[in-house]
């Protein structure tokens, strides 16, 4: 592509033709503030916070969508520009619920930061505020429109990332607001609960339904034994809530913090991931051998499952019947572990820490009660765990590294990589190869299914059988794959789908990064790198090599994909309306 020469605040810069002023300024070391802009997702130039002066132009231009051309001169910090940005933000504040001190996004709010940086008055423009409402119709998400700034970032990710598109701008002018069609409650739509709208929101208009008060009450109840376990990607996200670099693995400190919060057992959902691979691998081999429905598709991501039920109800037979790692872990706690303790399952409280808001919905699904009580009692996000740690006065950064408890805290590298797109597939291949051939794969690194691309394909020779696999992340990509499956054009035997782009490391329950960080850094890749580093350095890297898993089968479950395992670890799905 041709290069053009421009000047940004009199600084010469050479960039590719078609580059926006926003991107050119960043190359010049200049940050232009934005609010509605999310690179590759929401590029609409609507909020006007990023306006700049261009020599020769009649009016200010939106830097996020205005392309540079040869010889262009741009000014990002003139008096006119600063006054325009300040007035824009002050007008937003005039219609904004400024209950900042108790807001979930206090100190991590892009509007708050802009107001400070631009020297705005919070009461410059007084007057009537738009009528607003709170939608709390789901078990996982709350929308408070009194805090909405109409940036439409949530609308864009719901449509572009996830192809769900259940929210949009309703009404016009002063009455414009974000809601579902016909003002339907979110809980009555085909929303899948992925939470990508939450992490895209620049303010506190969207947040998860918190369960931390219920968890604290359970800990305080002497009649309950309270177990906590975290998903693989939580350990590479949690540290960000305490100022650590993106992707820092804080597993040891996380364990120490959980103990100091008062939990009786500190386990790891990685154990459940290893167990999922044992069941899923056995199920896949059984389908190959017995002529079962192929391609088989993974069932670990609850938002993906709900998406499939809404949009592809005629394809549910392709889904693995395995419960997710969260639900398998809870089921084992309430059956096997309760039996070992000699306790009634109703006296065990199992808390999962997830990068995912859809887990709050999943725990309430049918057939998720292996012991006659819910497999999982409470599912909290990475953000909720961080909030509990801060409220307890625990100095997270100064904690020593501690180890998980046994036996349900023992896991392999295969369980760890469940947190990234391609990880479930790679973990399964490590097991399947050995089960079919009787020997370990030449390499445990199936690099073809790694990376943050939306769709990946690979073919492997497993004992003389060519197995073609596909990995997709982001539900817009899942829709493409499922359209091919429905049309009979998907030449695969095994498909992994994760609802969030990049996998669970980029889940809707993970620490929220500002648009500036998201636009300039590949957060999901940085977190994924830490996941793969942990796997690489582990002695145990295959689920079938996990001694605690082997003990579980020999003492309790019998064989993988057997009768008892099916009763406890497998589930079913239901067709749902698209509307």
CATH number of the domain encompassing residue 69: 3.10.20.740
Domain range for 101 is 95-208
Q: Let me know: does 467 contact 493? Beta carbons within 8 Å.
A: yes
Q: Does residue 1 register a pLDDT over 80?
A: no
Mean pLDDT of 406-435: 97
Question: Helix, strand, coil: what percent of the chain each, to 5?
Answer: 40, 15, 40
pLDDT exceeds 90 at position 579: no
Q: Report the candidate in 81, 75, 65, 74 with the shortest Cα–Cα distance to residue 118.
A: 81
| CB atoms inside a 10 Å sphere around CB 100 | 18
Q: How far separated are the first and last CA of the chain, in Å rounded? A: 44
**CB neighbours of residue 259 within 10 Å:** 16
Q: Are both 120 and 49 inside the same structural domain?
A: no
> Is the domain of 242 the same as that of 150?
no
68 part of a folded domain: yes
88 is a domain residue: no
Contact 132, 110 (CB under 8 A): no
Q: What is the share, in percent, of the chain residues with pLDDT greater than 70?
A: 100
Is residue 578 over pLDDT 90? no
**Percentage above 90 pLDDT, the chain:** 99
Same domain, yes or no: 231 and 200: no
Decide which of 20, 47, 77 is a domain's last residue: 77
**For residue 429, how many C-alpha atoms fall within 13 Å in the half-sphere facing its CB?**
33
Q: Single out the residue in 46, 77, 108 at which a domain terminates.
A: 77
- How does residue 530 score in pLDDT terms, banded at 50, 70 and 90? very high
Q: Are residues 202 and 291 in the same domain?
A: no
Q: What is the sign, positive or negative, of the torsion defined by CA atoms of 547, 548, 553, 556? A: positive
Residue 132 domain-assigned (yes or no): yes
Residue finishing a domain among 208, 232, 252: 208
Q: How many CA atoms lie within 13 A of 75 on its CB side?
A: 13
What's the mean per-residue pLDDT of the chain? 97
Element at 458 (helix H, strand E): strand 455-462
Query: Mind listing the pLDDT tens digit for each residue in 210-244?
Result: 999 999 999 999 999 999 999 999 999 999 999 99
Cα dihedral 174/175/180/185 (nearest 10): 130
Six token digits for residue 577: 């309306």
- Burial 351-371, CB ≥16 within 10 A → b, else e: bbbbbbbbbbbbbebeebbbb
* Domains identified in the chain, total number: 3
Sign of the four-CA dihedral 396, 203, 362, 503: negative
Residues 6+ apart with CB under 8 A from 83: none
Q: 30 φ, ψ to 5°?
A: -120, 130
Query: pLDDT (tens digit, 9 = 90+) per residue, 17-52?
Result: 999 999 999 999 999 999 999 999 999 999 999 999
pTM of the model: 0.97
């Amino acid at each position: 592509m041709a290069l053009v020469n421009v000047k940004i605040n009199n600084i010469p810069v050479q960039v590719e033709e078609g580059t926006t002023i926003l991107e050119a300024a960043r190359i010049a070391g200049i940050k232009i503030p934005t609010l509605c802009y999310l690179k590759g997702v929401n590029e609409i130039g609507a909020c006007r916070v990023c306006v700049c002066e261009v020599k020769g132009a009649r009016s200010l231009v939106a830097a996020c969508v205005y392309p540079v051309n040869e010889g262009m001169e741009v000014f990002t910090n003139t008096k006119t520009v600063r006054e325009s940005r300040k007035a824009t933000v002050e007008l937003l504040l005039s219609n904004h619920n400024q209950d900042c001190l108790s807001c979930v996004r206090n100190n991590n709010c892009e509007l708050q930061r802009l107001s400070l940086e631009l020297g705005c008055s919070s009461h410059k423009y007084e007057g009537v505020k738009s009528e607003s409402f709170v939608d709390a119709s789901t078990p996982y998400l709350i929308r408070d429109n009194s805090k909405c700034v109409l940036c439409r970032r949530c609308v864009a990710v719901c449509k572009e990332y996830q192809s769900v598109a259940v929210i949009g701008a309703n009404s016009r002018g002063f009455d414009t607001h974000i809601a579902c069609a016909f003002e339907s409650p979110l809980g009555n739509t085909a929303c899948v609960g992925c939470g990508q709208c939450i992490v895209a929101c620049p303010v506190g208009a969207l947040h998860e339904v918190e369960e931390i008060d219920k968890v604290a009450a359970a800990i305080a109840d002497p009649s309950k034994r309270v177990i906590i376990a975290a998903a693989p990607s939580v350990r590479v996200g949690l540290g960000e809530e305490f100022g650590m670099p993106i992707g820092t693995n804080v597993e040891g400190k996380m364990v120490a913090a959980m103990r100091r919060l008062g939990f009786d057992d500190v386990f790891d959902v990685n154990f459940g991931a290893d167990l999922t691979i044992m069941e899923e691998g056995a199920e896949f081999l059984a389908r190959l051998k017995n002529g079962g429905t192929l391609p088989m598709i993974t069932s670990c991501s609850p938002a993906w499952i709900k998406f499939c039920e809404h949009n592809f109800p005629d394809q549910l037979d392709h889904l693995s019947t395995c419960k997710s790692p969260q639900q398998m872990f809870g089921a084992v706690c309430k059956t096997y572990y309760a039996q070992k303790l000699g306790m009634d399952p109703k006296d065990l409280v199992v808390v999962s820490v997830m990068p995912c808001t859809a887990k709050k919905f999943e725990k309430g699904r049918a057939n998720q009660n292996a012991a006659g009580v819910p497999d999982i009692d409470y599912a909290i996000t990475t953000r909720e765990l961080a909030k509990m740690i801060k409220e307890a006065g625990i100095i997270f950064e100064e904690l020593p590294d501690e180890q998980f408890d046994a036996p349900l805290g023992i896991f392999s590298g295969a369980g760890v990589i469940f947190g990234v797109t391609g990880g479930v597939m790679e973990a399964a291949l490590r097991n399947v190869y050995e089960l079919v051939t009787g020997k370990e794969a030449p390499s445990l690194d199936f690099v073809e299914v790694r990376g943050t691309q939306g769709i990946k394909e690979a073919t492997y020779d497993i004992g003389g059988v060519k197995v073609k696999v596909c990995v997709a992340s982001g539900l817009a990509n899942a829709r493409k794959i499922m359209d091919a499956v429905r049309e009979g054009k998907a030449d695969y035997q095994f498909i992994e789908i994760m609802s969030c782009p990049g996998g669970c490391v980029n889940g809707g329950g993970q620490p929220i990064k500002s648009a500036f960080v998201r636009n300039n850094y590949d957060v999901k890749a940085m977190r994924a790198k830490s996941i793969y580093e942990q796997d690489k350095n582990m002695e145990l890297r295959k689920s079938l090599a996990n001694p605690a898993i082997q003990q579980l089968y020999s003492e309790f479950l019998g064989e993988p994909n057997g009768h008892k395992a099916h009763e406890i670890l497998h589930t079913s799905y239901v067709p749902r309306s698209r509307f």
